[in-house]
Amino acid sequence: LVRLRSRLSRSQNALGQGLLTLLSREHLDEDTWEEVEDTLLTADVGVQPTQELVESLRERVKVLGTRTPQELRALLREELLKLVGTDVDRAVRTEPEGRTPGIVMVVGVNGTGKTTTTGKLARVLVADGRTVVLGAADTFRAAAADQLQTWGERVGAHTVRGPEAGDPASVAFDAVKEGKEMGVDVVLIDTAGRLHTKTGLMDELGKVKRVVEKHAPVDEVLLVLDATTGQNGLVQARVFAEVVDISGIVLTKLDGTAKGGIVVAVQRELGVPVKLVGLGEGADDLAPFEPEAFVDALIG
Ligand code: GDP
C-alpha cells in the first residue's frame, strides 16, 4: 500500500498551510477569522464542521496568547484530528465470524471509480493471502464487466459475470454462490450506479442486496465517492444512503484535489467513516484512510 502521506501532501497541504499562515498573523481580527472560515469552506469541510472548528480555534488561540509556530501547528493538528475522528473503526469488514466468504458490495455513481476500486481492493486482499471472487453486477455499463474481469486476471481473482444488460441481482447471487462453492475468503460485488433514474437504482440496489442475503448477510457496503465533485458528491451520498445501509466510504481521486475537507463533510453527512482512499489510477493506489497521516499531509 502506498504511503498516504507522501501521496497526499502535494495536493492537500494548501489547506493546512493556508490555515497556519492565517493563524500566525500578529492580530487575529474578525477579517482573519472570516478568511479562516473561507479557507475551510473552500476545501469542502462543510458549514457545520467549519463553524465548530473556527469556534474551537478562536477559544484555544485566545488561551494560548503568544503563539509559536510549533504551538500553532500542534493545536491545529489536534483540532483537525478531532474533526476527522480518531476513535472510529475503519477496517473493511471482510471476515465475518464463523463463515466464509465475507461479502462486500461496492456502490456509487458511474465514473466515481467504483470498478477500479473493486479491482484495487481485490489486489490488496490477494496480496494479503486471501482468495477473492469478483461479481460483475454492473450489467448496465457494457464495458464494466470486461474492465472488472481484466482486474480479476491481473490480481488472480475469478470473475463472475452475466449476459449484457442482464439482471444484476442474479449475477450477484451467482457470484456469492460460486464463491461459496470455490471456498474463497471474500466476494466483492461491483454494482451499477446511474443516478438519473433514482427509482430504478433504488429498486436495483435494494434487490441486489436482498438477493445476496439469501446466501448470507452483506458484511460491508462501500460507497465510492469522487473527492473532486465536492457538494455534488454529498448529494449522491444522501441518495445512496436512502437506498442501502452504507457501512463505509471510499473517497477516490484524492490525488487530484486540494479539497480534502470532503472527508469531514461526508462523514458528518452519513455518520459513516471513510475507510479507504483512492490516490491514483494505478493498481497500488488504494490506501486505508489514516486520520493522522491525512492531517499531517494537510498541515505539511
Ligand atoms: P466506475 O464507472 O465508477 O466504475 O469508474 P471507473 O472505475 O471506471 O473509474 C473512472 C475513472 O476514474 C478511470 O479512468 C479510473 O482510472 C479513474 N480513477 C479511479 N480511481 C481513481 C483515483 O483514486 N485517482 C485517480 N486520479 N483516478 C481514479
118 lines ligand 1 (CB under 6 A): no
261 is in an annotated binding site: no
- Structure letter (DSSP) for residue 226: E
Residue 65 neighbours by CB distance under 10 Å: 7
The answer to whether residues 57 and 76 touch, using CB atoms and an 8 Å cutoff, is yes
Distance of CA 42 to the CA centre of its chain: 20
| Share of the chain residues as helix, strand and coil, in percent rounded to the nearest 5 | 55, 15, 30
Q: Measured in angstroms, how far is the CA atom of residue 112 from the centroid of ligand 1?
A: 6
Residue 142 neighbours by CB distance under 10 Å: 11
226 is in an annotated binding site: no
Q: Kindly give the number of the ligand 1 atom that is closest to the alpha carbon of 141.
A: 2
Q: Cα separations (Å) of 131 from 97, 125, 152?
A: 17, 7, 11
pLDDT at residue 1 in the model:
44
Q: What are the two backbone dihedrals, phi and then psi, of residue 50, each rounded to the nearest 5 degrees?
A: -60, -45
- The answer on pLDDT for 237 being more than 50 is yes
18 is in an annotated binding site: no
Axis crossing angle, helix 47-64 with helix 262-270, rounded to the nearest 10: 120
Which triple of cell numbers denotes residue 97? 465470524
ipTM over cut 0.90: yes
119 lines ligand 1 (CB under 6 A): no
State the Cα–Cα distance between residues 25 and 33, nearest whole angstrom: 11
State the Cα–Cα distance between residues 88 and 83, nearest whole angstrom: 12
Q: Which of 124, 191, 281, 285 to mutate to test the pocket of ligand 1 (most atoms within 8 A of CB)?
A: 281
Query: Residue 159: helix, strand or coil by DSSP?
Result: strand
The answer to whether residues 194 and 218 touch, using CB atoms and an 8 Å cutoff, is no
pLDDT for 112-137, tens place per residue? 999 999 999 999 999 999 999 999 99
pLDDT at residue 192 in the model:
85
Among protein residues, the one with the nearest Cα to ligand 1's atom 6 is 113
- The answer on pLDDT for 271 being more than 70 is yes
Q: Kindly give the number of the ligand 1 atom that is closest to the alpha carbon of 277.
A: 23
State the Cα–Cα distance between residues 217 and 93, nearest whole angstrom: 12
* Partners of 155 in the β-ladder: none
124 is in an annotated binding site: no
Q: Measured in angstroms, how far is the CA atom of residue 108 from the centroid of ligand 1?
A: 12
Q: Kindly give the number of the ligand 1 atom that is closest to the alpha carbon of 110.
A: 2
255 is in an annotated binding site: yes
pLDDT for 52-99, tens place per residue? 999 999 999 988 888 888 999 999 999 999 999 999 999 999 999 999
State the Cα–Cα distance between residues 79 and 267, nearest whole angstrom: 16
pLDDT at residue 256 in the model:
80
112 is in an annotated binding site: yes
Reported pTM: 0.93
Query: Residue 33: helix, strand or coil by DSSP?
Result: helix
Q: Measured in angstroms, how far is the CA atom of residue 111 from the centroid of ligand 1?
A: 6
- The answer on pLDDT for 29 being more than 90 is yes
Least-confidence region, from 45-49, 99-103, 196-200, 205-209: 196-200
pLDDT at residue 164 in the model:
82
Percent of the chain with pLDDT over 90: 70
Question: Edge-to-edge strands of the sheet including 158-160?
Answer: 158-160, 132-137, 186-191, 102-107, 220-226, 248-252, 274-278, 286-288
Q: Measured in angstroms, how far is the CA atom of residue 149 from the centroid of ligand 1?
A: 16
Q: Measured in angstroms, how far is the CA atom of residue 26 from the centroid of ligand 1?
A: 44
280 lines ligand 1 (CB under 6 A): yes
